[in-house]
Amino acid sequence: MTYAANQAESAENDSINWSSGAAYVDGKFVPLAEAKIPVTDWAYRRSDVVYDVVSVWDGVFFRLDDHIGRFRRSIERYRFSPKETDEEIREILHKLMALSGLRSAYVAMDCLRGQGAPGVRHPAKARNYIVCWASPFSTLVPSDKIERGMHMIVSSTPRIPQVCVDATAKNFHWGDMNISMFEAEDKGADYPILLDLDGNVTEGPGFNVFVVTDGVVATPDYGMLEGISRKSVLEICDDLGLKLEVRRVSAKELRDADEIFVSSTAGGVIGVSRIDGRIMNNDRPGPISQKIRETYWAKRTSGWHGEPVKYDLV
Amino acid sequence: MTYAANQAESAENDSINWSSGAAYVDGKFVPLAEAKIPVTDWAYRRSDVVYDVVSVWDGVFFRLDDHIGRFRRSIERYRFSPKETDEEIREILHKLMALSGLRSAYVAMDCLRGQGAPGVRHPAKARNYIVCWASPFSTLVPSDKIERGMHMIVSSTPRIPQVCVDATAKNFHWGDMNISMFEAEDKGADYPILLDLDGNVTEGPGFNVFVVTDGVVATPDYGMLEGISRKSVLEICDDLGLKLEVRRVSAKELRDADEIFVSSTAGGVIGVSRIDGRIMNNDRPGPISQKIRETYWAKRTSGWHGEPVKYDLV
């Protein structure tokens, strides 16, 4: 969209209710409720799409460069060619925040395959495009569950192997996660943690996993998304002088851990108090998990890796 | 939608151009180009959706009972609860054909997860719904490539294992297929064939695979969709007195086969003339493949497993 078109549009924007969210769909800004994609789009029909999500807290984007950088690597990994540059994507995300007026938000960016002409089936023949949106911030679980610690199970469904679908290119292949979420609910837990085919910990639906044993923090090095929140935890462990190991983590190590916590754009760092029914730390998040959570939010509040939203864009 | 509402709508239908396709989206009939889903829907965002596709040739649905039956099994396997019964789905598909006026079509039915209230993340909390659509019939490859035989490669990306995402419940987890289609194009081929993690043949993007060696037809028994067209081929082999084996098929057996052919709703039976650059049958589909293809179409034309479209529904 050109600058002139943007200006022409801005008078119109005043009369639209953007409070429940704002979206950008292939060049056009619309209220989130009107942001839709064709049922024939391969992004939906073949899950041929990559995405990323960045959070805004109190008017400040967190690690926006990291998220846009990872989004671009996902785009290249699966051979998409959207027209928007990284700088344009950044401006779109700022404008969505400005339109919505939200102070804290979950801000998504998707790159969709699109579709071919009728009868054409090859993904190389489609025009790729970008969809972004901002909606009110939400966390993996409500605040009372953050307080008491999340209850987790080890899923009986293994994570899709890295060699089949590259989890480091953020994607919507959640079939294993979806059915695992039902399994967790059936067992009275909040979330599942998925293992790989060799029985090592990978990730859960929207989060990375950390275990703490004898004061040492460990997190998987393979088979999962390389989370930006995970990266933040690694930096915080370094700051706090905690011993940290990035390596394979077995299911046994997870089940026997002193503490477990997860990292996610949807909440930062959240402690776990039960794993497969076993109660840890007197049924509350453990002390190291809590220290990392508090440090994470204290640093964010102080502007760490922050980029203030340009609310004056509209 | 009630009968009365349908009637009220029918006057309106006359003025709409349905020729490029007709769709049903959660109770409402719309032209296919207007059939859209929210970008926030978990069917898209988590690929939390199952589907099926039936073909219509010359005004006759093929094995509609089989497709609706498999669709219902996929729905139950992944714990969806759409409001439509099988009989209502059947009526919707007939009505879409009647609206479109198409004589030959590709007719899809999807069951989507929907989404939760803001901040709610569990799939059990969503209202599931149905989307169906009919568009002009198309085949895996254009007719000249059907004539000369498809050129295939064995993909270097393995198929997502059955234990992670159940391929027998028809789903959109195509990340492995999507990247394999690029690999096929890079190597000058039409389509990839994917192996499982043990090196056995599974399926390709939208088709099942058959090999013919010393007059015996063999097809995989595990790790792939149990195709309705595949089922038709099994019946035809029986009719023709061909020896048939349903079992594991190794990559070596595929690469060394006398003939290869595929089955798909998008074209029925189509022969292969090249595998990984090796030319088979003088660079044309093999004689047994051709015999099965001809039998398939002859039987369909004669009404085999057919259900005539109710074009008088609108």
| Dist. CA A305–CA A302, nearest whole Å | 9
Q: Domains plus CATH for chain A? A: 3-137 (3.30.470.10), 143-301 (3.20.10.10)
B171 CB neighbours in chain A (<8 A) are 175
Region of B246 (left: φ > 0; alpha: ψ -120 to 50; beta: rest) is beta
Region of B223 (left: φ > 0; alpha: ψ -120 to 50; beta: rest) is left
Please choose, from the candidates A162, A124, A102, A106, the residue with its C-alpha nearest in 3D space to the C-alpha of residue A48.
Answer: A124
Q: Say what the pLDDT of residue A209 is.
A: 98
> pLDDT per residue over B174-192, tens digit each?
999 999 999 999 999 999 9
Angle A103-A107-A109 (CA atoms, 0-180°, nearest 5)?
Answer: 155
For residue A54, give the 3-state DSSP assignment.
strand
Report the Cα A89 to chain-centroid distance in Å.
17
Mean pLDDT along residues A71-81: 98
Closest Cβ opposite residue B39 in set A20, A113, A131: A131
Residue A116 above 90 pLDDT? yes
Which residue would you say has higher pLDDT here, A14 or B192?
A: B192
Residue B10 above 60 pLDDT? no
Mean pLDDT along residues B20-29: 97
- Contact present, B261 and B292 (Cβ < 8 Å): yes
Residue B252 above 50 pLDDT? yes
> pLDDT per residue over A211-232, tens digit each?
999 999 999 999 999 999 999 9
pTM: 0.95
Closest Cβ opposite residue A172 in set B45, B124, B161: B45
> pLDDT per residue over A181-198, tens digit each?
999 999 999 999 999 999
Closest Cβ opposite residue A179 in set B42, B78, B181: B78
Residue A10 above 60 pLDDT? no
Residue type, B42: W
For residue B136, give the 3-state DSSP assignment.
strand
Measured between CA atoms, how close is A225 to chain B, in angstroms? 15
Measured between CA atoms, how close is B54 to chain A, in angstroms? 15
Q: Say what the pLDDT of residue B298 is.
A: 97
| Dist. CA B44–CA A172, nearest whole Å | 8
By CA distance, what is A51's nearest residue in B? B45
> pLDDT per residue over B113-171, tens digit each?
999 998 899 999 999 999 999 999 999 999 999 999 999 999 999 999 999 999 999 99
For residue A60, give every residue at least 6 positions away whose Cβ sits within 8 Å of its Cβ, in sequence order, or none.
A300, A303, A306, A307, A308, A309
Asked if A158's CB is within 8 angstroms of B164's CB, the reply is: yes
Asked if B47's CB is within 8 angstroms of A174's CB, the reply is: yes
Helix axes B228-239, B64-77, angle to 10 degrees: 130
What ipTM, to 2 d.p.? 0.95
By CA distance, what is A107's nearest residue in B? B40
Closest Cβ opposite residue B174 in set A37, A40, A46: A46
Closest Cβ opposite residue B181 in set A37, A123, A164: A123
**Site of tokens 């660079």:** B283
Residue A5 above 70 pLDDT? no
Mean pLDDT along residues A235-239: 98
By CA distance, what is B44's nearest residue in A? A44
By CA distance, what is B190's nearest residue in A? A122
Q: Say what the pLDDT of residue B13 is.
A: 59
Q: Say what the pLDDT of residue A133 is.
A: 98
H or E stretch including B91?
helix B86-100
* Average confidence score pLDDT of chain B: 95
| Dist. CA B164–CA A173, nearest whole Å | 10
By CA distance, what is A140's nearest residue in B? B121
Alpha helices for chain A (secondary structure H): 3-13, 42-45, 64-77, 86-100, 143-148, 175-186, 228-240, 251-256, 287-301
Q: Say what the pLDDT of residue B1 is.
A: 43
| Percent of chain B scoring above 90 in pLDDT | 93
Q: Say what the pLDDT of residue A14 is.
A: 59
Asked if A79's CB is within 8 angstroms of B48's CB, the reply is: no
Q: Say what the pLDDT of residue A314 is.
A: 87
Q: Say what the pLDDT of residue A19 is.
A: 78
> pLDDT per residue over A119-148, tens digit each?
899 999 999 999 999 999 999 999 999 999
